[in-house]
Chain A
Amino acid sequence: MPDVRLVNVTKRYGKIVAVDGVNVHIYDKEYFSLLGPSGCGKTTLLRLIAGLIEPDEGEIYIGDRFVNDVPPEDRDIGFVFQTFALFPHMNSWDNVTYGPRVKGFDMKKAETIGHEVLEMVRLHERLDAYPNELSGGMMQRIAVARALAAGSKLLLLDEPLGQLDAKVRNELRYEIRRMTKDLELTAIHVTHDQAEAMAISDRIAVIKKGKILQVGTPKELYMTPKSVFIAHFIGESNFLEGYISNLSRTGATIELRGGIKVQAGLPKNLEKVDRVVLAIRPETFVIEKGIKETKNSILGIVERITFEGTNIRYEIRLRNEDSVVVVRPSLVEEWLKVGEKVTLSFSPEKTHVFAYPEAGLREELAVE
């Protein structure tokens, strides 16, 4: 069964540590995403699993097999490259049946597999087409079909949707998930697109600067982020700086800039630290016209309004000069106007309180 285990895996390029002591267990038949900003080491991690590069330290297991010294052709994997890497001198059929042929399957079996996977990606009618005669979406599907035809139970996908336009990308991501589930494969999917990772993954590992920051289901990462970076990278958050003025068993009172006091959830990873960052999701706010005497509220003025289709997005300047973003459904409520005074309130248990980052908030949130 192809579960994948990485134990303390490190990969360096000169002085740069691309992957830094990574420990992770990807379960059998799981759709697992490696998510992170550009240059965070997620592709390096995938290439380490594939055997395309060798780790400097640590152990990699596929199933029960220790594979550090096993070349890629013997790891029994399927790999989908970001640029598809379809062989330009072969047509779709030859590309797809390449795996079965080089693995020495008999021709009849190779042909059966070829027909099956081409049917699966709905491109049977284009089996004579060369890569330069296919659209981006078709090339991507042939690339997936080629990886599936190799018969492996472990599918590695390196930003497979990165080169496609938004509409095709949205369609194909569900298609890929469906196929891997139908075939009971273990899939490891690298992406920098958090919406894509959230939509298709059973679990996600968020990576920054070569390290895994948190592993969890999409819901866990969204609802209970373990760090300011996760709260920022998964979904969207408003960050307000402040100090803890009171701490109880159920929550904390935080004094924001300008002396505004609000109730928030229990602080995370907080030991004898009083400077904090309060994270509030834009959709958590309740927004009311005018000045209201609402519990746990802050007053503000609407500065900018952006219509996003499904949602309407308000940028509100608070009375302490901090700014927050509030997102509301566009067709449900009456729209506010620029310059209008508003009262924002929120439930303390839907907020997250983090210790103020040592490197500074801006540095912590940076994705490059």
Chain B
Amino acid sequence: MQAESTNLLRPKITKALDKLSSKTVIKNTIYMASIIIFFALILLPPILGIIIKWGSIEDVLNQPKLMSEAFNAIAASFAVAFFVSFIDVVAGVPMAWMITRGKSKWLNVLDTLSDIPFIVPTATLGYSLLLFWNEPGGLSSLFGGSFVSPGWLLVILLHFAFSFPVVVRVMVGALLDYKLEYEQAARTLGAAPLTADRTVTFPILKHSLIASFTLAFARSLSETGATMMVAGVFVHGPIFINKHIGEAGPLVFVSAILIILSSLVFVTIRLLGPRLKMPVRKVWPKAERKLSSSTIASSRNGITLLVFFVIVLVPSLFVAVPAFEAIFTGVLPEALGGVGVWGDYWQSISLSYFVGIVVTLLNVVIGLPMAIIIARRKIGNGPSAVLDVLVNIPIIVPSVALGASLAIFWENFAFMPDIWLLIFAHLSITYPYFIRSMSAAAERISMELEEAGRTLGAKPLGVFRTIIFPLTKYSMLSGAIMVFTRSVSETGATLVVSNLVTAPVLLVNWVENGVSTSTLGLGCGFLILFSFIILLVLRLVVKGRGAY
């Protein structure tokens, strides 16, 4: 009886909401609310946090040694980010190419494997790489001593591992959307495969190449937690901020410069990128024909696979080795029973997933209207384009700097509980992922479909429910999962913004406190296992290669 009345009630509620959505006042209120929330909770707090403590910059300016250290750290950040993004694109594009153009059934598996470093929490990833490259149990056992000691080289290897999947994901999507006829036309006109790719395919995919470089760059620039594990004496921006976490001066100085410089880099890329001509127009038919041979192509694929397995995948999963050991040494029962350090571990895992879920839900609620505003230019072309640029800013600010400035801002609101600070920080960091994924999906839907819905009598909310949502639900889900995994793996901002201990923070503490390898391995192993389950769910629900 109750179910029946619920069923009767539902269409009535839907109808009422549909009707409400056609009222301009309601529509504008929703759009305005999402814009206000974006500015009030996501964009302005970190910026205002820095402005509030702007005066403390003098502490650095008055200490030439500290200032010089700060500049060196900033320079190191940009050097690592530029270098890593460059090699990411060089190695990631052939991988994406192989995934989309190859005919083997195994390429689906390769596609899935390429996502693993992306969803493994970076702190875990850092530890895993440390074990693989440096510890005696890893690759070092083959060469004696420490193969790669903590320092700049290990930082580069780490950044390459976690930003590589970003490039592959973006390029797989771009190649799947690419109209193959352009390349075929070039081939029928006499161009060798390499010539066709170089003169036709890559210039057409220029935006995606730039986007993949930009995302890898941002990811490298902002990463803190995992870098701390492998940096040794190497200091870059986020590590410098973390070293001086109690002092406002260095924090504001480095954060401000990183934000300004990275914003400048991104605006420059955004402005100049579309005008960038692919550098070499000249064609060398004979040489390029030779370089297009199947032998060369096979060698390229072989090297790509080798790089992926040796530098990305195996180091990322290496942490699982001590986890296996832990299973046979009694650590597992301790872990499952929550004995000793494991009590805190499960608490931190619960906190991580709780924050992840709340942040994901908040992103969906406040991000959807914003994604529609950007995709459909709801507030006019100019303002919508400005919003499109602004939503990217949180992704380019180093997470530790973002956390620090948020902490400065929110400490003025003493009533704010720690957990909310954590949620707001994660919201700032993850917001661009959801917006990017959702607005891109909405942009792909032809306006005509929406108009068809309206001419058939659907109200705006009805159009969203019945047309936009069904067509974008996989992108929405992908965006939500990216938000969730990013939140769960976040370390840098979490360390600074609150005293709460999430799983990645706990793992960093374990490393610093010298907890046994098997305990650490198992702790990381659990996180990877959960990430695997999330990835599996993502694959089952999203279906299809490169769908997100």
Binding site for B on A (CB under 8 A): 50-52, 71-73, 75-79, 81, 83, 85, 87-89, 98-99, 101-104, 146-147, 150, 156
Contacts and interface: CB of A to CB of B under 8 A. Distances in A.
B76 interface: no
Given A102-B283, A104-B286, A85 B179 contact: yes
A72 B181 CA distance: 13
26 contacts: A52-B187, A72-B184, A72-B188, A73-B191, A76-B190, A77-B188, A78-B189, A79-B184, A79-B189, A81-B185, A85-B179, A85-B182, A87-B182, A87-B204, A88-B182, A89-B204, A89-B206, A98-B189, A101-B283, A102-B189, A102-B285, A103-B190, A103-B285, A146-B189, A147-B189, A150-B189
B200 interface: yes
Given A102-B195, A102-B283, A104-B286, A89 B203 contact: yes
Q: Is the interface of B mostly helix, strand, loop or mixed?
A: helix
B204 A88 contact: yes
B188 A98 contact: no
Nearest to B190: A103
B204 A102 contact: no
Given A72-B184, A87-B186, 12 more contacts: A52-B188, A73-B188, A73-B196, A77-B188, A85-B184, A98-B199, A101-B283, A102-B189, A102-B190, A102-B191, A102-B285, A150-B188
Contact of B199 (A52, A85, A102, A150): A102
Contact of A73 (B187, B203, B286): B187
Query: 5 tightest A-B contacts by CB?
Result: A79-B188, A104-B285, A99-B189, A102-B191, A85-B185
B178 to A, nearest CB: 12
Contact of B181 (A76, A77, A83): A83
A101 to B, nearest CB: 5
B192 interface: yes
Contacts of B193: 71, 73
Nearest to B202: A89
Contacts of A76: 190
A192 B182 CA distance: 23
Contacts of B187: 51-52, 71-73
A142 B186 CA distance: 14
Contacts of A50: 188
Contacts of B204: 87-89
A89 B206 CA distance: 10
Contacts of B190: 73, 76, 99, 102-103, 150
B343 to A, nearest CB: 56
B188 A78 contact: yes
A156 B199 CA distance: 23
B108 to A, nearest CB: 17
A221 B124 CA distance: 73
A87 B188 contact: no
Nearest to A99: B189
Contacts of B206: 89
Nearest to B189: A99
B454 to A, nearest CB: 28
Query: Of residues B186, B188, B285, which shows the largest number of chain A Cβ atoms within 10 Å of its Cβ?
Result: B188
A239 B199 CA distance: 55
Contacts of A104: 283, 285-286
Q: Most B CB atoms within 10 A — which of A78, A85, A146?
A: A85
A71 B283 CA distance: 19
Contacts of B181: 81, 83, 85
A162 to B, nearest CB: 14
A85 B183 CA distance: 9
Interface string B148-191: 00000000000000000000000000000001011011111111
Contacts of B186: 87, 98, 102
A77 B506 CA distance: 65
Nearest to A78: B188
A85 B184 CA distance: 9
B392 to A, nearest CB: 25
B385 to A, nearest CB: 20
Nearest to B285: A104
A89 B185 CA distance: 14
B250 to A, nearest CB: 46
A146 B189 CA distance: 8
B274 to A, nearest CB: 11
